[in-house]
């Protein structure tokens, strides 16, 4: 019989306000095997932990039940305390009476009753607990960064700086991401290319960093410290080593009618292309959807003009298998599609553009050479209307996002200010719900747009934009003046909401990393562990975790690198002690467990068995590699004969908990 101590935490008023903690302690004190009970304001504090340690020593406890917050929060704290007092740390069970009780209930009587039931289940489990010892596994001292935007670049540079090897996988032909498309950066208005391209060069020249451009992650196996990743290197039909990036092929290619995605389709490129002059790696790529040679077999101009002999029309996708200790997700964002926002006439008029398109039009390397011209007729717009929150901050029923995209207020202020700076004869209106500019030097920046540059900021939303006689009639309401406005604008710029890149959801599935309803990756703790995924060994950098501007992205990218370095600096990781094990006498050898194991921890072997009738039989049985098993339990539920069981979460323990709850 175990000697169990029950410790009920008030968590200040977090638990105590909704749960009668004294009643819980007393009720649980009457359970069989419980020899000690106590309640205290903060069990996780040093004083609280001492109470646990002292009780373990004084009452010769063999197990402890802590009724407190989620085990994700403090299970480790209490396990360490128990171990310090001399009992195996796996003899501690947490009854979560905060997240699963006090926080979600209002009625004190029923919440108290539920807390007692949860405690009873934990006690029932401790009765069946056995001491467990965790093994160790080595750490592969290399990191993978998925996404080569500013977030991925900064994380890779920082990890490499600490001496670890890093691979960047970028699906586009060049690294650089969204920042490479931007003209100027707020709040200091330095040119994006001037501060980004040197970093891109640093990446290319860093001998610790390898870039897999035009590549995607195909499959991920393994676990923290020992990931095995298959990377698909998409066929670019150009030998990356031979290509010198001279660009001759991109001038001679006869297929000129390909929408240029780098300029968001505002101009055209050739079928063989280098996205922009500072691309890294500076290697041409053939667009198989448009290349005449690949489609019909008749052309071959690029091959003829290439002095390096780098063109290879027969190139196929190849796969690279690599091992990593840590994986960083830096998949970034995209502006949302605006097809559904017909009230703004985005699909009807080329002069209704998104803010990112505006960036390209004002960029010196863009389709207009940096001169602000209307896409429709190439004239200077004299009246520009900026519309904020297009698709952001909508209520649940709309076709947009419920969240604030965070960066739009600042870049719209930037656009408005730059327009007035360069073209003082232009009238600029900004329609907003609220102007949100917290951040260092951010509000000052916005005030300058209003006060020094005379931008008309109007509180209110635009109801309709309709193209009429080469103009855009903007109908809007001014909520402060309380009147309707009709503006005959030349150009309308929509601050489209941003959303996670489409590749994020399938990637999250591969990584078994969790996401929120908007497909942003969730962090292990929103305040205390903001750059780690709840899945061990997966780290988050940049907009894949939530909307961010560049300063914040870079700060988070470096924070993420620090966490990765902390992991890679370790020689060994303590494995999970709660691993699966197979009862060989029950195992059928059916391979179901092997198929469902997400970590590849189960293998089969032919073993000789002495049977009850004294014959010898060779049987096919499962065996679990405890260093690889993460204790997810998928095999235990898939096993038809109940041969698989999990240490620390055995079928008997779980049934005992259920019985205790249903008692």
Partner 1 sequence: MQKVIREKAIELLRSGKVDRVLGWKEGEFFYDQTPHLFLSPEEVERTFVYNGFSGANLSKYLVKEGLKEGVVAVFLKPCDTYSFSQLLKEHRIARDKIWAVGIPCEGKLDIELLRKMGIRGIKTIEEKGDELLVSTIYGEKTVAKKDVLAERCANCKSRKHVLYDELLGEEGEVLDSARFDQIEKLEQMTSEERFAFWQNELSRCIRCNACRNVCPACTCEKCVFDNADSGIASKAPASSFEEQNFHIIRAFHVVGRCTDCGECSRVCPQGIPLHLINRKFIKDINAFYGAYQAGENPDERAPLTNYSTEDMEPGDVFKKGE
Nearer to partner 1, 2 or 582 (CB): 582
Q: Do the Cβ atoms of 381 and 488 come closer than 8 Å? A: no
CB of 93 vs partner 1, minimal distance in Å: 20
Q: Report the length, in residues, of the chain.
A: 663
Nearer to partner 1, 295 or 652 (CB): 652
Please tell me what DSSP assigns to residue 5.
Answer: E
Nearer to partner 1, 469 or 616 (CB): 616
Nearer to partner 1, 379 or 591 (CB): 591
CB of 606 vs partner 1, minimal distance in Å: 10
CB of 396 vs partner 1, minimal distance in Å: 17
CB of 371 vs partner 1, minimal distance in Å: 45
CB of 591 vs partner 1, minimal distance in Å: 6
Alpha carbons 176 and 157: distance in angstroms, whole number:
13
Q: How many CB atoms lie within 10 A of CB 169?
A: 27
CB of 142 vs partner 1, minimal distance in Å: 27
Nearer to partner 1, 308 or 638 (CB): 638
- Please report which helix (H) or strand (E) contains residue 489, including its range: strand 483-489
Helix residue ranges, H only, 428-523:
442-451, 504-511
Nearer to partner 1, 239 or 594 (CB): 594
Nearer to partner 1, 163 or 642 (CB): 642
Helix residue ranges, H only, 374-441:
408-422
| Omega prior to 295 cis, within 30 of 0 | no
CB of 585 vs partner 1, minimal distance in Å: 7
Alpha carbons 181 and 171: distance in angstroms, whole number:
16
CB of 232 vs partner 1, minimal distance in Å: 16
Q: Do the Cβ atoms of 6 and 25 come closer than 8 Å? A: yes
User: Residue 162: exposed, middle, or buried by beta-carbon count in 10 A (0-12, 13-18, 19+)?
Assistant: middle
Q: Do the Cβ atoms of 578 and 142 come closer than 8 Å? A: no
At 42, phi and psi to the nearest 5? -135, 95
Nearest one of 585, 597, 549, 609 to 187, comparing CA atoms: 549
CB of 620 vs partner 1, minimal distance in Å: 6
Nearer to partner 1, 518 or 591 (CB): 591
CA angle 656, 662, 663 (to 5 degrees): 85
CB of 539 vs partner 1, minimal distance in Å: 23
User: Residue 613: exposed, middle, or buried by beta-carbon count in 10 A (0-12, 13-18, 19+)?
Assistant: exposed
Helix residue ranges, H only, 59-98:
71-84
**Contact residues for partner 1, defined by CB under 8 A:** 506, 509, 585-592, 595-596, 604, 617, 620, 638, 640-642, 651-652, 655
CB of 219 vs partner 1, minimal distance in Å: 12
User: Residue 595: exposed, middle, or buried by beta-carbon count in 10 A (0-12, 13-18, 19+)?
Assistant: exposed
Q: Do the Cβ atoms of 431 and 476 come closer than 8 Å? A: yes
Alpha carbons 338 and 346: distance in angstroms, whole number:
7
Nearer to partner 1, 50 or 651 (CB): 651
Alpha carbons 219 and 229: distance in angstroms, whole number:
6
Report the DSSP pairing between strands 63-68 and 4-9: parallel
CB of 332 vs partner 1, minimal distance in Å: 21
């Amino acid at each position: 019989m175990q000697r169990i101590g029950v410790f009920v935490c008030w968590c200040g008023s977090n638990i105590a306000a909704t749960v009668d903690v004294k009643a819980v302690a007393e009720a649980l004190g009457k359970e069989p095997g419980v020899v000690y009970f106590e309640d205290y304001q903060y069990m996780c504090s040093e004083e609280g932990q001492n109470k646990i340690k002292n009780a373990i020593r004084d009452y010769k406890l063999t197990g402890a039940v802590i009724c407190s917050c989620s085990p994700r929060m403090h299970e480790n704290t209490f396990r360490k305390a128990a171990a310090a007092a001399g009992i195996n740390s796996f003899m501690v069970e947490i009854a979560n009476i905060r997240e699963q009780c006090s926080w979600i209930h209002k009625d004190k009587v029923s919440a108290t009753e539920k807390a007692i039931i949860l405690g009873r289940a934990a006690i029932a489990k401790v009765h069946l607990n056995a001491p467990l010892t965790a093994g160790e596994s080595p750490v592969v001292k290399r990191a993978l960064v998925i996404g080569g935007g500013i977030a991925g670049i900064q994380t890779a540079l920082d990890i490499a700086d600490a001496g670890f090897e890093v691979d960047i996988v970028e699906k586009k032909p060049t690294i650089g991401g969204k920042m490479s498309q931007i003209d100027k950066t707020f709040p200091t208005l330095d040119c994006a290319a001037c501060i980004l391209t040197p970093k891109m060069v640093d990446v290319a020249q860093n001998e610790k960093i390898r870039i897999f451009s035009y590549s995607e992650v195909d499959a991920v196996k393994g676990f923290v410290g020992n990931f095995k990743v298959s990377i698909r290197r998409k066929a670019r039909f150009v030998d990356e080593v031979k290509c010198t990036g001279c660009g001759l092929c991109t001038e001679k290619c006869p297929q000129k009618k390909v929408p240029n995605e780098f300029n968001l389709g505002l101009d055209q490129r050739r079928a063989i292309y280098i996205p922009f002059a500072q691309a890294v790696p500076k290697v041409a790529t053939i667009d198989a959807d448009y290349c005449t040679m690949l489609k019909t077999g008749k052309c071959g101009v690029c091959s003829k003009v290439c002095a390096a002999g780098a063109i290879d029309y027969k190139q196929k996708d190849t796969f690279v298998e690599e091992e990593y200790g840590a994986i960083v997700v830096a998949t970034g964002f995209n502006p949302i599609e605006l097809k559904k926002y017909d009230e703004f006439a985005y699909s009807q008029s080329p002069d209704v553009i998104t803010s990112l398109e505006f960036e390209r039009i004002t960029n010196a390397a863009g389709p207009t050479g940096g001169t602000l011209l209307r896409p429709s007729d190439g004239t200077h717009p004299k009246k520009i209307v900026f519309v904020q929150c297009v698709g952001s901050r909508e209520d649940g029923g709309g076709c947009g996002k419920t969240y604030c995209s965070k960066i739009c207020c600042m870049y719209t202020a930037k656009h408005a200010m730059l327009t007035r700076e360069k073209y003082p004869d232009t009238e600029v209106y900004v329609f907003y719900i609220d102007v949100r500019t917290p951040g260092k030097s951010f509000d000052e920046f916005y005030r300058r747009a209003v006060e020094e540059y005379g931008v008309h900021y109007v509180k209110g939303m635009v109801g309709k934009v309709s193209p009429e006689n080469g103009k855009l009639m903007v109908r809007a309401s001014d909520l402060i003046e309380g009147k309707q406005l009709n503006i005959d604008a030349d150009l309308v710029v929509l601050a489209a909401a941003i959303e996670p890149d489409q590749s994020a959801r399938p990637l999250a599935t591969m990584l078994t990393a969790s996401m929120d309803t908007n497909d942003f990756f969730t962090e292990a703790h929103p305040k205390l562990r903001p750059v780690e995924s709840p899945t061990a060994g997966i780290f988050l950098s940049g907009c894949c975790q939530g909307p961010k501007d560049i300063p914040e992205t870079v700060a988070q990218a470096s924070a993420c690198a620090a966490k990765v370095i902390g992991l890679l600096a370790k020689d060994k990781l303590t494995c999970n002690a709660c691993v699966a094990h197979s009862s060989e006498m029950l195992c059928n050898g059916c391979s179901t467990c092997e198929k469902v194991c997400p970590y590849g921890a189960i293998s089969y072997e032919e073993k000789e068995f002495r049977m009850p009738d004294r014959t010898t039989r060779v049987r096919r049985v499962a065996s679990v590699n405890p260093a690889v098993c993460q204790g997810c339990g998928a095999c235990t539920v898939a096993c038809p004969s109940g041969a698989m069981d999990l240490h620390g979460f055995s079928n008997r323990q779980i049934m005992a908990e259920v019985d205790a709850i249903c008692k």
